[in-house]
Chains A and B, each alone.
Chain A
Amino acid sequence: AQTVTQSQPEMSVQEAETVTLSCTYDTSESDYYLFWYKQPPSRQMILVIRQEAYKQQNATENRFSVNFQKAAKSFSLKISDSQLGDAAMYFCAYRTLGYQLIWGAGTKLIIKP
């Protein structure tokens, strides 16, 4: 069975600095998708970025980028130029072709002004 591990329960960063959130996963599948979702205090689940496993190029969405290391089964999220609005819980999620998302426990990101 697939598992997703986020080893950092909480991270803090100074506003305008860069922070990296870690995620590792375990799977025997070769084709899958990985996601980062953000959950602000409103509890809404918001998609941040998506990575297809067959793509070697790391995904990027504005200030958000990933470092996808397929052999190491690692999928970290880098947030550049951190803003106060980035404060939230960040969840890493794994999806096989066709079925449900398997979630990490989350990392609480604190932005210091």
Chain B
Amino acid sequence: DSGVTQTPKHLITATGQRVTLRCSPRSGDLSVYWYQQSLDQGLQFLIQYYNGEERAKGNILERFSAQQFPDLHSELNLSSLELGDSALYFCASSPRSWGTSSDTQYFGPGTRLTVL
């Protein structure tokens, strides 16, 4: 158990809908990262937050948005869903957002999103 929690574990929805994925980082971690893993592929970085502020953006669609709240949990919002958005969405956390010996990212169990 990495200490990172994600809810829900599974989500099935229809095209055009909007969903929210939730992530709680490990206790004490200030950075949260979101990744997307499509079927049998590697992970794609979406976005990073550090202590409530957006820190870096990757290949995140305009239909997707995220935020990190004062209690450090984060939410990833996916709207106008398309079939191609079906994927495993991972949240990871780390203590800080810059390089130290403790900057390893620890991953949650993921949320499997199926868009029908």
Identity of the chain B residue whose Cβ is nearest the Cβ of A99 in the assembled complex: B56
Chain A residues with CB under 8 Å of B58's CB are: 100
Of B48, B104, B110, the contact of A99 (CB 8 Å cutoff): B48
How many residue pairs link A and B with beta carbons under 8 A? The number is 64
Chain B residues with CB under 8 Å of A103's CB are: 42-44
Does A43 contact B88, Cβ atoms closer than 8 Å?
yes
Chain A residues with CB under 8 Å of B109's CB are: 42-44
Chain A residues with CB under 8 Å of B42's CB are: 91, 103-106
- Interface size band for A: 20 to 34
Number of interface residues of B (CB under 8 A): 27
| CB-CB under 8 A for A97 and B99, given A43-B88, A43-B110 | yes
Q: Which residues of B contact A (CB under 8 A)?
A: 2, 33, 35, 41-45, 48, 55-56, 58, 88, 90, 92, 97-99, 101, 103-107, 109-110, 112
Q: Which residues of A contact B (CB under 8 A)?
A: 31, 33, 35, 37, 42-47, 50, 52, 91, 93, 95-106
Q: Given A35-B104, A42-B109, 18 other A-B contacts at CB below 8 A?
A: A33-B103, A43-B88, A47-B106, A50-B104, A91-B42, A96-B99, A98-B55, A98-B56, A98-B98, A99-B56, A100-B56, A101-B92, A101-B105, A102-B45, A104-B42, A105-B41, A106-B41, A106-B42
